[in-house]
Structure 1
Amino acid sequence: MFWSKWPPTRRGSKGKALTSWEKLCGSKNKHRPTRWQIWSAIREQKKSAQWQDEKFIPLAATWLNNKRWLDDVKELKKYNFEGSDEHESFEEKERAKNSFEDKFGK
């Protein structure tokens, strides 16, 4: 599922990404991220100005190895997807984030 969410032109080696995924999400890793954290971070980072230029999108394995889902998306300039039903409003995102942090911590 992770692979299908990653921009096709920046996937890199599927084997390396799979190894990184298994290491990160394996049962021995006590600090593994939830799938929701990973999917949410990818969705948000895809909207950033950085990800609009392919050369600045990290390869999948690099993103996983560097724990890039922890990056502060607010620091990345956002594109305006005004009028798109597909994208939540800023307030909805903040409510969801706060709800998640209330349940699971930061």
Structure 2
Amino acid sequence: MSKQEKPTAYELRLYIAGKTAKSVTALANLKKYCEEHLKGQYKIEVIDLLVQPQLAEGDQIFAIPTLVRKVPEPIRKIIGDLSNEEKVLVGLNIRPA
């Protein structure tokens, strides 16, 4: 069975509000997990709601930071600084619970 690599198998959106400690930590954690577990198969879009507040409504964002997995469906959300790697990987369905 050959392993075929699909470009951007995961499309992730991280909603933040400015460069707060939590936002910076969440992004750093997310990049680390993606490089370890999804190398070459992910795209991260960071949306700063201080700059683009109208985008919060589309994904129904009520807390910051929030990570949204757009692809693959179904859409999943994880709220917080993403410091619990196991919870993030299970939440994104990268690792089975």
Larger Rg: 1
TM-score, normalised on structure 2?
0.30
- Specify which structure has the higher proportion of helix: 1
Higher relative contact order (CA 8 A, sep 6+): 2
- Specify which structure has the higher proportion of strand: 2
